[in-house]
Chains A and B, each alone.
Chain A
């Protein structure tokens, strides 16, 4: 019986009481890392040299954790799971990492991801596919695939993620764990490889709402190196947690959550939505007010295109620094253009190249108004619609995805276009910078599924508390893939 499947508070108490040492925890986490690497290919780097540290009052001190491989870690290989940076060792750390270093959190591995965070399957890392620890024939979803797999498998209580569309919150659902991205700017993005700057969020994957609150408390804060960060000194998420659901008002969107929208729904989607409505009933039984609201279907359907246009445009520009000239493997060629071309041709996966082409296309003079500017307008409409809902409701709740994790070999299967809006709707949380958390809410065909709670900017405490109350009244807190609580 190890410790890494416990909650942060439990482990901290065991450390304080001398039941276990930080060194022993690190050893256990490293062993589990190697086991999981065999099984799921979750890591780019396992830090076998990691050592325990002195335990302090800080709940994270001495406890191992995982870092998504797009967080710069000083002196430690950081690849973004891309061949373009396959040997890149940063000489500075991301601000969030510096903060965790300071409180004595112990990095034990760098987790694999969809290349530079682009992609939602966990299949595009330069080190191969991340498999779902609940069923290794299935994906974890992405892009925080390795982090989700590792937390779900009990390698450690938490791992860091990033979320540009739903890259924390969807893998969390597919792996039966908690995934939380706080309000845009609560955590500094400095030192994290950018994907689409206006949508990029940092966050965490854990096995409980409480752990998510503890970790983000230690990552957040205004950073003079990130102009979009803001001062959250007055906010203590962990201390603000309370199980007091009575009178909270939440809503769900009919056009997304009602089965009647999906005439061709498969068994998994039906079960998933049924399960979601069970959670809705639970909310009511806990004394929350739940209402069904209607949102223009055309606007919802536009959401995914808006996401593709904006993130592709920003990504094409953000990744223009990857030329292989200052860092990354030098390309071959007798002039700089040929060298850059060679580096980028060899380095990027086809998925990224496709998005660069889309990004360039929508920014071209003749296309910009039609695609890029219209996408910005639609983004604004979607955000305004959600902000309107937040005037009346504490949060919008929704099922995550259209069922449990997909099979790796069925990824190319034709999908029902009716379900795109549902599958991709968490992106609205990125459009608005809203705090958003996914928690596990049951199983479909013995595979975990999740529910998402999204609230207004700066209202993280409210969002976490709704999740906290639901979690207490459900049976999935702290569950480990393959553990006793399996379905």
Chain B
């Protein structure tokens, strides 16, 4: 690999999941519902239907454009991309071409890869509609139009990545941005994120500012998870390197390939010569509209706190370690959960400890997602309070947490059910303390003569009587008062 440098470009398609309705129709933007239940005449291209632009989708895409440091257009246009496919009922997709101007053009984004800060170059970002979802069986295919018209953001980068690590780190950063900015869940398991990857190899000794030296661009379509992006890039780099080594690289034509998950290889689809001519033209049913500077400013001002900003806050204002802060901000849902716990008055370090090691550790073990648990931040906060106040021990707290996660129970219920509730009332403990003292009549004298460690023995006696249920710190304090009194 020393002789060559890989040039990798990405096309990241991400559905905007956080609008109520689709990008050009009024049906619900929720395609995981019962198949073909969120559809309108437009989504199935019934004659005479017309697109109406969803302002919220435009707003979210402009926000993404701003976060990516892209330029925003003066006017919004949409274009038709014409082709026939069963998942495209209109026979064209409403999208944006690079010219006149999509929702974002020429941006830059810093991202971290293996501890280093790098810069990704964005060519453009455009807003378009998703196609219907097709599922192919042996003798037939099914089409689900719930997905037809779901707003989709397509992000196109320059070939600015040089390894699969960089490409995947960038994609993870983007996912985090989409989540934090309230644009999308960006969940590839739900099919919300889909990527195309371009890979070429250049000789390392050549000038990389001249695109002629960049090698032959190979496009790999339909890479639908980040791990597949990693595998596809690594596979393709190796494949192209072999071609370099055996002298066949220069014969390779510009081509489109497809990632085959099963074999872990890329498979030839078509050469550039067979590229589809999409016959773009401006969508006549959507008049171009001017983006006012006031609206753009409003959007800019409403960009929520992003992951890196939260991380800085955790480290600099809350005094958390970089390690913990990183874990906390990796998923917005985790960070939000954590912040709710802070809002409930738990100290930052305690909260961070509970979330990063105890909660996430258990979730990991149980293979559950924080978004799917019934344990609310309020419930966890109450549990933490019980531990810090000494009503239950930390060991018991952890036990309760695990059980409530396993069985979707309120921790209070678990405490009751397990009967592990501590004896926390001062009167109850006082009674037991007096009982213990009366059984050890010389204790007070020993204590006051300097053998203060006798108190540990007495605490032990109280615990024995209560089978460990007495609150240790209250027990200690009560004993101390009695012995000194």
Contacts and interface: CB of A to CB of B under 8 A. Distances in A.
Q: Which of B52, B82, B277, B279 has the most CB of A within 10 A?
A: B279
A85 B47 contact: yes
A196 B80 CA distance: 14
A457 to B, nearest CB: 13
Given A227-B287, A228-B285, A321-B45, A364 B53 contact: no
Closest 5 CB pairs of A and B: A320-B91, A363-B279, A198-B284, A321-B45, A197-B284
17 contacts: A90-B48, A189-B50, A193-B47, A224-B52, A226-B50, A226-B285, A227-B52, A317-B279, A320-B90, A321-B89, A325-B86, A326-B89, A336-B86, A340-B84, A363-B280, A363-B281, A364-B277
Given A198-B284, A314-B284, A321-B91, A364 B44 contact: no
Contacts of B48: 72, 90, 94, 189-194
Interface in B70-120: 80, 82, 84, 86, 89-92
B361 interface: no
Contacts of B238: none
B357 interface: no
B319 interface: no
Contacts of A90: 46-48
Contact of B47 (A197, A321, A360, A368): A321
Contacts of B49: 190-191
A207 B91 CA distance: 40
Contacts of B285: 197, 226-228
B264 interface: no
A80 B47 contact: yes
Interface residues of A, number: 43
A225 B46 CA distance: 14
Interface in A411-466: none
Nearest to B88: A320
B51 interface: yes
Q: Which of B48, B52, B91, B92 has the most CB of A within 10 A?
A: B48
B160 interface: no
A193 to B, nearest CB: 5
Nearest to A197: B284
B370 to A, nearest CB: 39
B85 to A, nearest CB: 8
- Interface of A (DSSP majority class): loop
Contacts of B51: 227
A313 interface: yes
Interface in A363-409: 363-365, 368, 372
Given A198-B284, A227-B50, A320-B92, A363 B44 contact: no
A141 B390 CA distance: 93
Interface in A83-113: 85, 88, 90-92, 94
Nearest to B86: A336
A426 B285 CA distance: 22
B90 A225 contact: no
B22 to A, nearest CB: 14
B375 interface: no
Nearest to B52: A227
B143 to A, nearest CB: 9
Contacts of A192: 48
Interface in A216-231: 224-228
Nearest to A88: B47
A194 B84 CA distance: 18
Interface of B: 41, 44-53, 80, 82, 84, 86, 89-92, 277, 279-281, 284-287
A128 B115 CA distance: 75
Contacts of A226: 50, 52, 285
A85 B48 CA distance: 13
A92 B49 CA distance: 10
Contacts of A85: 47
B47 A320 contact: no
Contacts, number: 90
Contact of B84 (A193, A228, A313, A323): A323
Given A225-B52, A227-B52, 10 more contacts: A80-B47, A88-B47, A90-B47, A228-B287, A313-B281, A319-B91, A320-B82, A320-B92, A326-B89, A363-B280
Nearest to A230: B287
Nearest to A364: B277
Given A190-B49, A227-B53, A320 B279 contact: no
B287 A317 contact: no
Contacts of B287: 227-228
Given A198-B284, A317-B80, A317-B82, A326 B44 contact: yes
Nearest to B80: A317
B89 A317 contact: no
A343 to B, nearest CB: 12
Nearest to A92: B41
A325 B132 CA distance: 14
A198 B284 CA distance: 5
Q: Which of A198, A320, A325 has the most CB of B within 10 A?
A: A320
A194 B47 contact: yes
Interface string A154-197: 00000000000000000000000000000000000111111011
A466 B80 CA distance: 40
A72 B47 contact: yes
B21 to A, nearest CB: 12
Contacts of A340: 84
Contacts of A319: 91
Nearest to A339: B86
A90 B48 CA distance: 10
Contact of B50 (A80, A225, A337, A360): A225
Given A227-B285, A320-B90, A321-B89, A363 B50 contact: no
Nearest to A224: B52
A97 to B, nearest CB: 10
Nearest to B286: A227
B36 to A, nearest CB: 11
A372 B280 CA distance: 11
A375 to B, nearest CB: 11
A363 B47 CA distance: 22
A332 B89 CA distance: 18
Contacts of B41: 91-92
A325 B281 CA distance: 25
A310 B173 CA distance: 44
A187 to B, nearest CB: 13
A230 to B, nearest CB: 10
B277 A190 contact: no
B17 to A, nearest CB: 24
A327 to B, nearest CB: 7
Q: Which of B51, B277, B280, B285 has the most CB of A within 10 A?
A: B285
A322 B47 CA distance: 8
A363 B82 contact: yes
Contact of A372 (B92, B281, B284): B281
A126 to B, nearest CB: 15
